Amino acid sequence: MENLIHADIFFFITSIVAVLLGILIAIILSYLVIILRDIREISRIARSETTDLADDIHTMRSEVHNQLRKNSSILTSIIYIIRGFFRRRKSRITKY
C-alpha cells in the first residue's frame, strides 16, 4: 500500500514539473518568434538600403566619369603646361 502512495506522489510531482516545463518552453518559443520577426525586418531594411546605396554609388561614378570626359581637354592642357615647366630646355646657343 505504501508503494502505491509513493507512486501516486511521484506521478503527481512529475506531472506538475512537466506542465511547468511546457509553459516555460512555450514562453521561450514566443520570445524566439518575436526576435526572429525583428531580425527578418532588420534584414529586409538592410537589403533595401544596400540596394539604394549601390544605385547611388553607380550614379555618382557615372557622373564623375561624364565630368572627367567633359573636362578632359582642360585637364590635358593643364598637364601639358605643367610638363612644360619641368622639361629640360635645349640651349639655343650653338657651338661652331
pLDDT tens per residue across span 32-58 = 999 999 999 999 999 999 999 999 889
Q: What are phi and psi of 89, to 5 degrees?
A: -95, 140
Whether residue 71 has pLDDT greater than 70: no
Mean pLDDT score across all residues of the chain: 83
Residue found under cell 502505491: 4
Position 16 confidence tier, pLDDT thresholds 50, 70, 90 = very high
Q: What confidence score (pLDDT) does residue 35 get?
A: 97
Q: What percent of the chain has pLDDT over 90?
A: 44
CA-CA-CA-CA dihedral for 24, 30, 36, 37, to nearest 10: -170
